[in-house]
Chains A and B, each alone.
Chain A
Amino acid sequence: MYFKTLLKVSCFALFCFFVVPVMAQNSAVTGKVTDSKDGSPLTGVSIVAKGTAAGTVTDVNGAFRLSVPASATALIVTYIGYDRKEVAITGSTLNITLDPSSTSLSEVTVVSVGYGSQRKKDLTGAVENLSAKNFNQGAIINPVDQLAGKVAGLTITQPGGDPNQNASVRLRGQSSLSGGLSPLFVVDGIALDDPNQFQNIPPGDIASYDVLKDASASAIYGSRGANGVIIVTTKRGSAGRTTVSYDGLVGASNQSKYYDLLTGAQLRAYGATTTAGNLGSIDKGANTDWQKAITQTAYQQRHSVSISGGTNTFNYISSLSYQNQDGTVINTGKEQIGLRFNAEQKALNDKLDIHLGIQNVATNRKFIDYNNFSYVFNAPPTYPIRNADGSYNEFSDFNQENPVEHINSEFYRAKENLTLMNGSADYSILTELKIGALGSISRNDIETRGFQPTYADQGNRNRAGQANENKDSYKGNIHINYDKSFGKHKISLLGAYEYNDFRYDAFAARGAQYLVPAQLDNNLGAGVSTYNSIGSYREEYYLTSFFARAFYNYDDRFYVTGTIRRDKSTKFGSAYQVGYFPSFNVAYRMKKDLFANVDWISDIKIRAGYGVTGNEDAIGVYKTLETVAPGNNFYNGATGQYLSSYSVNQNANPLLRWEERHGKNIGLDFELFNGRLSGNMNYFNDETTHLLYDYTVPTPPFVYPTILANVGTLVNKGFELALSGQIVKGSKFNWNANGQITFIKTTITSLAGQYSFAGQTYQLNSDQIPVGYAQGRGLSSNPITFLKPGYSPDVFFLPHYTGVDASGNQTFDGKTIAQVASPPGHYIDPSPKFNYGITNSFDYGNWNLNFALRGVYGQKVFNNTLLDIETVTRLPGNNVTREALTNGIKDAPVASDKWLENASFLRMDNITLAYTFKNVSFASALRVYVSSNNLFVITKYRGLDPEIKTENSAGGNILFGNNLNGSNNTAFIDANYGGQAYYPRVRTFVLGLNISLK
């Protein structure tokens, strides 16, 4: 039996069900629950037929549908933060409004915990839930921006202003040195193949996020759970009238800050002080601000239309999104069109529940080569952009070209298609027993195209290329759920089998020296044939798993959850084909027993958990095999041909296995003052063992100097606190605030260990592994960040700057470079001491003012750009900052702690002022707003922005290997040289409209 066949059969079956005639339900009540004040739909409202066991909760649109016994006469409606209401059953459709109350208990907020959901009050692990109401607002193009600063322990870093750059998402610190650091993203039950795919999903499609933070919660995801899991639920349709909504914004962005480079006049003034008395050939009479010359006011727009509706047994939602975001650097931008369709069909007396979801996002990207950023700092301001006749002023020196000409004449584009299809069917055999199956197909196709012209002054060959990458997966699971209550005992059991087939293939073709540059990459074969090159690659691996979860609840007071997952991956070495990932946690709600008479404590729960999760990301698919692959060419004298040599291409490690994160978490959830103040705190202590890294091995006898192996450990310890409060509550004025603060300390505890294979024992040691290098002229081979046991990852090791001597030579611990060629270094930890976020929301009548502040304290960033440009040794041929003229340094740049700057910051991430129109004839909801993102940032950091990449990634794009979206940047190093560059951050203002038509 082949799984794909099964999948096809299930899909066919799914489609069949949609044509099953809708069965009449005699005793069904449907309706919608809304807030009596603003009419907004309420999600997760509990509805129980009085005197019976029949109950349900409302969906994200506030809709519900409940089969009630004929005996029932009323519904009991309860919801956190609202007064309990009893509604007489007067018809089959009931529209219910709830009044906000002073009491709020997490009654029935339903939180997804992976392969199922739980009531919020029943949670035993560190799980945080964020629904649409609490998302960040404003100019959101990338959905992860909805989460930034909102969840304790979750850090979202925008590494710059490039619309095509992915934000880094990290939960509870860095758990790996060579594997992925992003949490696993699970969208509607399907784990994404690549977490970055999530950043292409239109933000308006998302209904809620559930963040599984600790290992005991994420262990159900086994070898992919080590970085935590973010479960995304997209919007669903609901029974009732068809709803048409529009959500849109238009806005403009500008670069938020510029370096203080010399102007033409300032450079001329410098020239007058030199022995020559002028700039000589450097002065071409112009006054060009190269930083501004490559930037523009970038416009953006986002439109999304959704239609939803349904009957008692069928509902759907369909949305169409369009977003277009120009970059603030010319010739960059991103355009996306997304289409989503979700449908649910119930049948066979509601025993069968079928879901179908399909989403496609088509993205068009415009890139530039990041090398152009370094030209901006090198080009003298006395050079014009264009000559008098309108042609570009071409100039060429070491790393110095006309950036405007280059950016405008280069052509780098990508076309991406992301298609996610999933279907599921669940059947209730008995009230307490359900079985189901789920299948999904994910396809991500990326076509990259590029053309680089010839510049007369540079004498280079033009070149063009195209590349295609396909990342596909086929996944499915079958699962069985058993839920049962016996008096005060409740149990819930889950057992499942899951299958994943991951595929990747790529193809690229390149050529050079084209006679007709206007054809760009559209006639690749037309170049000079000796420069043609082609390549292709394919890989595939499988991950299959069994897993189970048992949940036990006694009297809503004592909780126990246990999970176990068995993962089998073909990536793992033969000795470790199978991994087991257990978790166990307990919780105790103490209110009833200990605080029954303490009025101001509404609810309080303590939790403790332990779990083991894995990270298999660092293991390349074929890393366990001794394989040969084409290497450098060799010359065959007999034939005069150049042929590919074939050689073993790695030190294979048949013992490779997943990294293991052993997580311990204790937590406290509380609600005080009738729910006016609620929050939670967590302390965690996680250890990652079997840490994967390319450890150095002795050559000889090894052919390659490193081997990927599971040695080493690192520890993450942290404390998180999240608070949410209704500070002022009145009839007209309300003030709500919430905030979170996270302290995390990551320490590498070991990079060495014994490693035995085939009767031989290898000692792997890595005392100090260089990872990040200073960039710049005369700064080659200059590692400045390291992996070092006892320190956090990417710890800096730098000489200590102690000023300049009388002749302007820098001193390090009192000595000049002439006195000590390589001055001694000192370790400095760049990682933040804590992160925090604060959101305030003020309501006055129909007005709402919402602002979100986000900050990082104790972070340090190496200002490599200033190291390179804040030095008079560059003058006059390359530009410098004004500070360079006065800082007294006269010798060549040396990487030292002078350039490792305090990068703590507090940012006004977003501020939004909104007005909601009430009682509009044509709309059930109408809201307009103005919003600004990154209005200001308070920091001492002297670079363009203190928020830069905090993780390492290597490798340029597939086409020419150059850096098109910051993928080459290294952690904590803010460089504009050697392929690394910082795309400046932007400040954005938008005007937006939300409307739901009646």
Chain B
Amino acid sequence: MKRKKIIIIAFTTLMVGSITESCNKLTLKPYSVEPVGNFYQTSDQIAAGIAPAYTALQNIPDGNVNQMNEITTDEIIVPTRGNDWYDGGQWQGLWLHSFKPDVFVDGGWADLNNGIGKVNFTLNILNSLPSKPSNIASINAELKVLRAYFIFQFMDMFGNIPLVTDYNTDPSKVTQKTRAEVYAFLESDLTTNVPLLSTTVDKTTYGRVTQYAGYMLLAKLYLNAQVYTGTPQWAKAIAAVNQVINSNKYALNGNYFDNFSLADRSSTESILAVPFDNVNIGGNNWEMQTLHYQSQLSFGLSGQPWNGFCSTADVLNKFTGADVRKNQFLVGQQYAADKVTPLKDTQTGLPLIFDPNITTLSSATDAFRLAGARNIKYTPQAGTSGNQSNDMVIFRLADAYLMLAEASLQNGDAATALTAVNKIRARAGATTWIPTDLTMASLLDERSRELMWEGWRRNDLIRFQVATGTHYFTGARTPAKGDDGDTHTFLFPIPSPELNSNKNLKQNPGY
């Protein structure tokens, strides 16, 4: 009897528990995040859902990708100044081309694949919606061309890349494609999708991929075809870039610096720009990376810059005469905002005089803190310490003219090339070239003057080296860099974390 009672009570207790549990549907309820399936319902939600593919661009013009394409060339040097900017030798390594799989290179890989991954995700989700948006075809085309930009850069930098265009790809089956294969994919993807893009060029398409941005990308692909496939495609490059130029939707800004000013959103030259804003979109830290600590006082910044990136005398000496583009560099004595009071380096008491003559990559001397010309093409913004509001350029018309010049010169049409180059030189206030001035070497220099620090230098040097045989990219350079010995440095090494996480990947030759 007693035992029965005990059993009944025990049973009842457990029952109460079970009932409590089953009556409460204890399911996970998200409050501040939303399950993917519940989003993408309204047109605004779809617009916000497409945006991440674009916000991935915010890492490109002033991030690791730009640094890997510039500090590996003559344009930007990051010398080790006393304690500063040693950072495990990563900056020296870029300059010296002593690339290592576990140093620096994974940042660029990650930034580009962030873009590719976000596009793949968005394409997948939008195309599997029960009721797709009415403009799904143009959305797909736009996203695919944007993805093509990321893939293009990815292939240009790492060569043999895993090419993934479907979000639902089995990760264990991802293998590398050769540059030629990626080239073929991009050519087909772009020629299919670019014509579907918008031809409207106004504020509604600002910062987005239009048909002209698409043709710029296609032109870049063809221009580098010799590097990627061994076969040049000058005529195709000319055709593509002419789609941009002949549209007459763009015009060179009267002032070179209007491309980079705080009001550069109204640039008439901009084909694809990445919007930045001091409050709303961070990431443009140009002023911080290059300026000296006390340059804060020159520009009324709200914090001290980092005294890092600069250029050598070899770069400065490329500018001659009245070329206004030389003014993108600060050299010599620096002044306070009143432009009268000379500044001093407070640590050492030395007058703040930027000296572009850099003869070593590393020095702890006081004077070396002031070494190098500082680039202020993106106007420093008073009251900020980083996160400047200048939008940053991906494609602009001046590049289109120079690409036309290069492809035409290679294609035997020096006259067209000369006209195109002189448009750029005239705008810069530089002397107009006569036909004998135009050579591959001078054109490469002109590209440097015009597109200084804008992220194309590595691509240019390699292309011109392949075309001419001159060791533009792999050759020796002051200070400290010797010849690479071979061309394995055309490609960055596949980063260690990527080799580690995907055992199918094979390291690039030479690493």
Contacts and interface: CB of A to CB of B under 8 A. Distances in A.
Interface stretch (B34-42, B228-236, B404-412, B448-456): B34-42
A280 B120 contact: no
A628 B58 contact: no
A397 B304 contact: yes
A697 interface: yes
Contact of B55 (A631, A764, A818): A631
A258 interface: no
B118 interface: yes
A873 B5 contact: no
* Of B6, B83, B92, B349, most A-chain CB atoms within 10 Å: B83
B434 interface: no
Given A460-B302, A705-B110, A627 B83 contact: no
B83 A701 contact: no
A760 interface: yes
Nearest to A760: B170
Contact of A530 (B169, B207, B279, B346): B279
Interface residues of B, number: 109
Contacts of A430: 2, 5-6
A600 interface: no
A243 B24 CA distance: 46
B83 A873 contact: yes
**Which of A460, A698, A777, A873 is the most central at the interface, judged by chain B CB atoms within 10 Å of its CB?**
A698
Interface string A574-612: 000000000000000000000000000000000000000
Given A762-B171, A890-B364, A635 B83 contact: no
B281 A761 contact: no
A546 B17 contact: yes
A703 B86 CA distance: 32
A270 interface: no
B432 to A, nearest CB: 36
Interface stretch (B159-167, B254-262, B323-331, B437-445): B159-167
A940 interface: no
B422 to A, nearest CB: 33
Interface string B339-376: 00000101111000000000000101000000000000
A857 interface: no
Contacts of B9: 429, 433, 435, 480
Interface stretch (A34-42, A334-342, A534-542): A534-542
A430 B10 CA distance: 13
Interface in B120-169: 120-121, 162, 164, 166-169
Contacts of A478: 13, 16-17
Given A542-B26, A643-B51, A873-B83, A705 B349 contact: no
Contacts of B385: 460
Interface string A537-552: 1111110101000000
A416 to B, nearest CB: 23
A822 interface: yes
A758 to B, nearest CB: 10
Given A637-B205, A822-B100, A696 B114 contact: no
Nearest to A528: B279
B85 interface: yes
A747 to B, nearest CB: 21
B117 A627 contact: no
A494 to B, nearest CB: 11
Interface in A1-15: 1-3, 6
A458 interface: yes
Interface in A693-721: 695-705
11 contacts: A536-B32, A622-B33, A627-B33, A646-B34, A646-B51, A695-B501, A705-B110, A766-B501, A779-B83, A817-B89, A822-B88
Given A645-B55, A646-B51, A822-B88, A435 B13 contact: yes
A499 B500 contact: no
Given A2-B24, A281-B349, A497-B20, A701 B167 contact: yes
B77 to A, nearest CB: 15
B193 interface: no
B318 interface: no
Interface in A154-211: none
Interface in B11-57: 13-14, 16-21, 23-24, 26-36, 39, 45, 47-49, 51-52, 54-55
Given A627-B30, A631-B52, A700 B89 contact: no
Contacts of B293: 397-398
Contacts of B27: 570
Nearest to A276: B349
Contacts of B6: 430, 433, 482
Contacts of A571: 28
A165 to B, nearest CB: 28
A90 interface: no
B364 to A, nearest CB: 5
Nearest to A627: B33
A638 B203 contact: yes
Interface string A609-645: 0000000000001101111110111111110101111
Given A397-B346, A634-B51, A626 B35 contact: yes
B362 A1 contact: no
A638 B200 CA distance: 12
B311 interface: no
B206 interface: yes
A645 B28 contact: no
Nearest to B204: A638
Contacts of A541: 28
Nearest to B275: A635
A701 B174 contact: yes
Closest 8 CB pairs of A and B: A497-B17, A877-B347, A645-B51, A700-B164, A637-B206, A647-B52, A703-B117, A280-B349
